[in-house]
């Protein structure tokens, strides 16, 4: 069975999470340092091929009032470029509070500040993916 990949796209880093083969649980995979758009897309394409990904979920930073601000517009452009580059569907997903939840989880785990910065995006992508998977349960094969 194919997996789902989640991306938490920021200005400097992209947090990446991957589902298990049954698309039930999410695990943090890596954090990519942003480079050029082409290099970012190539790195994601490589992850898609390596892990047999069937769909990608990208966190869309929607404002608290539900509106689309400049950050979300930038991520939507990234989603459009990604969808044009890959042969799998790319879905935007409301990511409100995932970064805050990730930071809180790392603080509760007593992770040091320098390490938190490096892990925050991957943890946010994991939370984003788990939210998506919980909202889209799969029926088990018969």
Domain boundaries, the chain: 3-135
Q: Which long-range contacts (CB under 8 A, 24 or more apart) does 93-97 make?
A: 93/6, 93/57, 93/58, 93/59, 93/60, 93/128, 93/131, 93/132, 94/59, 94/60, 94/62, 95/8, 95/59, 95/60, 95/61, 95/62, 95/124, 95/128, 96/61, 96/62, 96/64
Note whether 121 and 14 are within 8 A (CB). yes
pLDDT at 61: 87
CATH number corresponding to 3-135: 3.30.420.140
Locate 67 and state its tokens.
Answer: 């509106």
pTM of the model: 0.86
98-140 residue pLDDT tens: 665 656 665 676 667 666 666 778 888 998 999 999 888 876 5
Is the pLDDT assigned to residue 9 strictly greater than 90? yes
Which of 80, 30, 33, 77 has its CA nearest to residue 50?
A: 30
Mean pLDDT of the chain: 86
23-56 residue pLDDT tens: 999 999 999 999 999 999 999 999 999 999 999 9
């Amino acid at each position: 069975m194919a997996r789902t990949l989640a991306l938490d796209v920021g200005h400097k880093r992209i947090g990446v999470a991957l589902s298990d083969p049954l698309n039930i649980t999410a695990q943090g995979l890596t954090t990519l340092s942003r480079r050029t758009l082409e290099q970012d897309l190539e790195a994601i394409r490589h992850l898609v091929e390596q892990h047999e990904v069937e769909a990608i979920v990208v966190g869309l930073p929607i404002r608290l009032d539900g509106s689309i601000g400049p950050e979300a517009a930038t991520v939507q452009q990234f989603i459009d470029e990604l969808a044009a580059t890959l042969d799998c569907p790319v879905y935007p997903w409301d990511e409100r509070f995932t970064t805050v939840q990730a930071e809180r989880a790392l603080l509760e785990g007593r992770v040091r500040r320098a390490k938190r910065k490096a892990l925050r995006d991957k943890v946010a992508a994991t939370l984003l993916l788990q939210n998506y998977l919980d909202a889209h349960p799969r029926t088990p094969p018969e």
